[in-house]
Amino acid sequence: MAECGAGGGGSSGDSLDKSITLPPDEIFRNLENAKRFAIDIGGSLTKLAYYSTVQHKVAKVRSFDHSGKDAEQDHEPPYEISVQEEITARLHFVKFENTYIEACLDFIKDHLVNTETKVIQATGGGAYKFKDLIEEKLRLKVDKEDVMTCLIKGCNFVLKNIPHEAFMYQKDSDPEFRFQTNHPNIFPYLLVNIGSGVSIVKVETEDRFEWIGGSSIGGGTFWGLGALLTKTKKFDELLHLASKGQHANVDMLVQDIYGGAHQTLGLSGNLIASSFGKSATADKEFSKEDMAKSLLHMISNDIGQLACLYAKLHSLDRVYFGGFFIRGHPVTMRTITYSINFFSKGEVQALFLRHEGYLGAIGAFLKGAEQDNPNQYSWGENYAGSSGLMSASPELCPTQRARSGTFDLLEMDRLERPLVNLPLLLDPSSYVPDTVDLTDDARARKYWLTCFEEALDGVVKRAVASQPESTDAAERAEKFRQKYWSKLQTLRHQPFAYGTLTVRSLLDTREHCLKEFSFPDPYSKVKQKENGIALKYFQGVVRALDSLGWEERQLALVKGLLAGNVFDWGAKAVSDVLESDPQFGFEEAKRKLQERPWLVDSYNKWLQRLKGPPHKCALIFADNSGIDIILGVFPFVRELLFRGTEVILACNSGPALNDVTYSESLIVADRIAAMDPVVHSALQEERLLLVQTGSSSPCLDLSRLDQGLAVLARERGADLVVIEGMGRAVHTNYHAVLRCESLKLAVVKNAWLAERLGGRLFSVIFKYEVPAE
């Protein structure tokens, strides 16, 4: 986010350059590929939305063509890698003060190369005021959209696509934002929009909603009466005054009327009995601050009670608040929260939205893009190009506040396939993927942020090394370093910027930043080499396993899975070993493992289960390339197949660290099938199925998985889920409750985390869980 300079916009793009510190092309990113526009103009802020195509570099793998050759060479890698350009869709949202509208429109006009649209969808009160200016500057026809329809469409969109969109506000917590896990079914809910007045809307489905009530006493009332009482004309300054006031100097409290007898009534003495009640009888002058605070309480309490009554009348427990009165101001969120909590006795929650200011622009965009069916896709927030939620501390004077005079950005990338819940989750509405909430845990937050900072040099080095032919790799890697470093500093001061802060979100932000600077898969060559080496050992490992007795083989298979999991380039303790000792292999990894009993050890229970009937179908989430997938996972898969269990092997859709991708797994499975009849026949008969997860993360969110995987798990009757690796089974899903049996296994390759869990480096987690009857 950039601070704006003084004064409004001029008449050309140059004046935009002078008025803000961020270069305009970093604000209106990718404008040359913009296809369609929408705009939402409120009383003080403009929100611009546009859809563009983004060119990304992607690393593609494919098998060598061996036709006409005798046999493949021993030294030859198992497949070839090529970097290709891929075009994806992105939604951009930019929020700025109305004073900049002319300069921004000029900049857009000068940089619009080719847009499909001849119309710009517009919503908000300012759509009328600025209609002629927009049409003149952009030469696009303004098509005005209904404000409420746009708000609701926008609200549905963010609730469906941004997992940590909604939050509760708790003033005495550190930090004050408490994010909610999105319910798999977002409907029904109540939307209370507090603009000049108040509109209360019940939303039942994507297209069915009704205005059920409202009030003329809203944000405009606070602003208007506040201006009359304090002679302060600016809304933000009025809120700033309120944040410093003492309402009890102006309001009559319960204890002022009843004295000590209020306790017999079961009421708190500090409750407001009459807003502004003391001003009728007192001879003194009241301070502007106290009057502003009293007014804020009066209007917030009124809105809170109204919202609460409507929620109870319609049996709704989710109430989202939005509108310019809220706009992320702690002082308004605090009073609304208190009011709802008081009147509902804690039964109704006041929820706020991270992207509340964008709802109208998102909705207007969706209205104009209906022929593209944007709702049939899933979308994901691009952390590399989004500003995140800023703290709006009222202690800052209004001109310094994060929202005053800034450009705020949100980018959403279209995902190629729809994402859904894993049907095997016991209760999707209470599922939380992440094990530790770093927003809450200050000690863990400090450790992990430092850990990611210290790892940055290694990531930059790896990125440059992955593109030896590129002349600008070092320059791009340096830009990546600066961007990710600045994100980490933002998260130190505002850990809630992108929702709940977790190890997963830190890893995902890093992947987004790498992709942004055209490092699509820094580990592609490492994976290629390690897959090639591991394939050479596969037959030997399988022969050794087959020579063991049944019980001995089961333990050897599990130890093989765990040893394979050691090979994780994302863990510093491992990458240090792998870089200093290129000979470190499968047997050495087995020797690194903790001796039994393991840190978490349900192995005996698992062995007993294996003596029973075979599982119908196992869903296995794989982790790393090379030794992990080839010498750890595939022998385990082979044993399950041998028992008569079908297997769905799920791998990442896109690259992250040295994790195996779906396209790599297809080639690896093909090569193993050529050596092993059990795997060969299982692939032929579709008893072994390879699928993609829909994710490009080293962690695993079971509420956002590829729809094809979810359908397959249901159709095949999966009754065992195996989650492997530290990212997928410890940082995430350690506490996940499934409706079928599950195995979570990992080697803890981080000393701090191992100590937190009560173990040491290379401690073993082997967690076998059976659902309660």
The whole-number average pLDDT for the span 556-568 is: 93
Does residue 213 carry a pLDDT above 90? yes
The two tokens of residue 202 are 């019940």
Query: What pLDDT is recorded for position 268?
Result: 81
E strand or H helix at 210: strand 209-215
Q: How far is CA 476 from the centre of its chain?
A: 25
The whole-number average pLDDT for the span 56-68 is: 72
Query: What pLDDT is recorded for position 208?
Result: 94
The whole-number average pLDDT for the span 456-473 is: 94
Return the percent helix, strand and coil in the chain, to nearest 5: 45, 20, 35
Higher per-residue pLDDT: 393 or 434: 434
The whole-number average pLDDT for the span 362-387 is: 87
E strand or H helix at 434: none
Cα torsion 511, 384, 162, 366: sign: negative
Q: What's the first-to-final CA gap in the chain, in angstroms?
A: 52
Residues 6+ apart with CB under 8 A from 193: 148, 151, 199, 200, 201, 322, 323
Residue % of the chain over a pLDDT of 70: 91
- For residues 563, 629, 56 and 579, what is the CA-based torsion angle, rounded to 10 degrees? 30
Query: What pLDDT is recorded for position 406?
Result: 55
E strand or H helix at 688: strand 688-692
Does residue 582 carry a pLDDT above 80? no
Parallel, antiparallel or unpaired: strands 34-41 and 45-62: antiparallel
Do 415 and 694 touch, CB atoms closer than 8 A?
Answer: yes
The whole-number average pLDDT for the span 468-486 is: 96
Do 201 and 191 touch, CB atoms closer than 8 A?
Answer: yes
Does residue 111 carry a pLDDT above 90? no
Does residue 311 carry a pLDDT above 70? yes
Query: What pLDDT is recorded for position 290?
Result: 96
User: pLDDT (tens digit, 9 = 90+) per residue, 4-49?
Assistant: 322 233 333 344 443 444 567 678 887 778 888 899 998 778 898 9
Does residue 279 carry a pLDDT above 60? yes
Between 135-144, 364-373, 455-464, the lowest mean confidence (pLDDT) is in 364-373
User: pLDDT (tens digit, 9 = 90+) per residue, 350-364?
Assistant: 999 999 889 999 999
**DSSP-H helix ranges across 399-547:** 442-465, 473-493, 503-516, 524-546
Query: How far is it, in rounded angstroms, from Cα 364 to Cα 358?
Result: 10
Name all contacts of 282-287 with Cβ < 8 Å and 24+ positions apart: 286/249, 286/250, 287/245, 287/249
pLDDT band at 229 (very low <50, low <70, confident <90, very high): very high
E strand or H helix at 222: helix 219-230
Query: How far is it, in rounded angstroms, from Cα 486 to Cα 245?
Result: 36
The whole-number average pLDDT for the span 175-193 is: 87
Does residue 391 carry a pLDDT above 80? no
Query: What pLDDT is recorded for position 399?
Result: 33
Query: What pLDDT is recorded for position 703?
Result: 95
* Best CA proximity match to 719, nearest among 617, 646, 643: 617
Amino acid (one-letter) located at 674: A
Query: What pLDDT is recorded for position 77?
Result: 87
pLDDT band at 72 (very low <50, low <70, confident <90, very high): very low
Residue % of the chain over a pLDDT of 90: 64
User: pLDDT (tens digit, 9 = 90+) per residue, 429-452?
Assistant: 999 999 999 998 999 999 999 999
Does residue 310 carry a pLDDT above 90? yes
How many Cβ atoms are within 10 Å of 452's Cβ, its own excluded? 20
Does residue 400 carry a pLDDT above 60? no
Query: What pLDDT is recorded for position 426?
Result: 96
Does residue 375 carry a pLDDT above 60? yes
The two tokens of residue 204 are 């039942």
Quote the radius of gyration of the chain (alpha carbons, Å): 29
Query: How far is it, in rounded angstroms, from Cα 600 to Cα 620?
Result: 20
* Best CA proximity match to 252, nearest among 270, 238, 239: 270
Tokens 């190890």 sit on residue: 503
Query: What pLDDT is recorded for position 23?
Result: 65
The whole-number average pLDDT for the span 219-247 is: 92
pLDDT band at 112 (very low <50, low <70, confident <90, very high): low
pLDDT band at 733 (very low <50, low <70, confident <90, very high): very high
Q: Specify which residues 651 forms β-bridges with.
A: 692
User: pLDDT (tens digit, 9 = 90+) per residue, 664-701?
Assistant: 999 999 999 999 999 999 999 999 999 999 999 999 99
Residues in the chain: 773
